[in-house]
Amino acid sequence: MRLGTRASQLALVQAHAVADALGGDVEIVEITTAGDRGIAGDKARWIDTIEDALERGSIDLAVHSAKDVPAQSLLRPGMALAAVLAREDARDALVGAASLDDLPPGARVGTASLRRRAQLLAVRDDLEVVDLRGNVDTRLRKLHEGRCDAAVLAAAGLRRLGLEAEIGALLDPTVFVPAPGQGALAVEGREIPAALVDDVADAALRAERHVVEALDATCDTPVGVHHDGVALHAFVGLPDGSAWLRDSVVGPDAAALIVERLESMGARDLLARATAIAEATS
């Protein structure tokens, strides 16, 4: 069995976890994506060459961070996607400070995520949110070099890399609603071994992705969706935090209902405004 993955330290840790779950003779194939080469674009840049390898048959399965996978309609024809293994902590982590309240006015908080930017400014509009890019180790190095006073990263990545000690605080996921799929691993291929699929993680991932796809959200729109096992939470906002919506729904039809409620509250208008802002500043 050949598993394709990006070559970052975190991606390799994740691929080895899937390989261990598969058992037997598993080869991990490292693949450089357009995103790794610094090419801008949508989420597809993180999986493009990996999907090429799937189509060619040079790998059998691909391992992704689920939050990096674009909408189902954008996956290659014939490819299936499933959440695998138990989900790691989906929350965002504040690094460099014990809480947001501990940061003084004007403190610089680093992130490359529009969602995190919008949520930070919705809560603390006196902060300066600065662009912080790179793999986890690169972002931590930049933080420790003083390029920002604090940073927001995914708790899951820090924990998988053994860097939990870097976490100053875990942010409330009903306020700082995580990205769809955050903390979950996804396997893509023509056929996913049933033994790999965690039913709880898979159901949550599908609910989260349904909301994003139903709202036609993109990388240029600050959107968070997270199912915590009880309720489905969602956030839609503008990058500057000046306008936003949050909602939570419980029940078997939570994904469809939360889309309906968000639309009734004006989510599509917010998304259109967010897209226009992104296009104007790109």
Expressed as residue numbers, the domain containing 154 is 92-170
> In this structure, are residues 245 and 224 in contact, taking their beta carbons and an 8 Å threshold?
no
Within its chain, how far is the Cα of 234 from the centroid?
A: 14
pLDDT in tens, the chain (282 residues): 999 999 999 999 999 999 999 999 999 999 988 777 766 566 667 678 888 899 999 999 999 999 888 777 677 888 889 999 999 999 999 999 999 999 999 999 999 999 999 999 999 999 999 999 989 999 999 999 999 999 999 999 999 999 999 999 999 999 999 999 999 999 999 999 998 999 999 999 999 999 999 999 987 789 999 999 999 999 999 999 999 999 999 998 999 999 999 999 999 999 999 989 888 876
In the three-class reduction of DSSP (H, G, I as helix; E, B as strand; rest coil), residue 186 is classed as strand
Verify whether residue 68 is a known catalytic residue: yes
Domain for residue 101, yes or no? yes
User: 3-class SS at 193?
Assistant: coil
CATH number at residue 132: 3.40.190.10
Residue 189 within a domain: no
51/216 Cα distance (integer angstroms) = 22
The answer to whether residue 166 sits within a structural domain is yes
With contact defined as beta carbons under 8 Å apart, do 264 and 243 qualify?
A: no
Q: Is residue 29 part of a domain?
A: no
- Domain assignment present for 224: no
- Number of domains making up the chain: 1
Residue 205 domain-assigned?
no
| Catalytic residue, candidates 60, 68, 149, 198 | 68
164 found inside a domain: yes
Asked, for residue 131, whether it belongs to a domain, the answer is yes
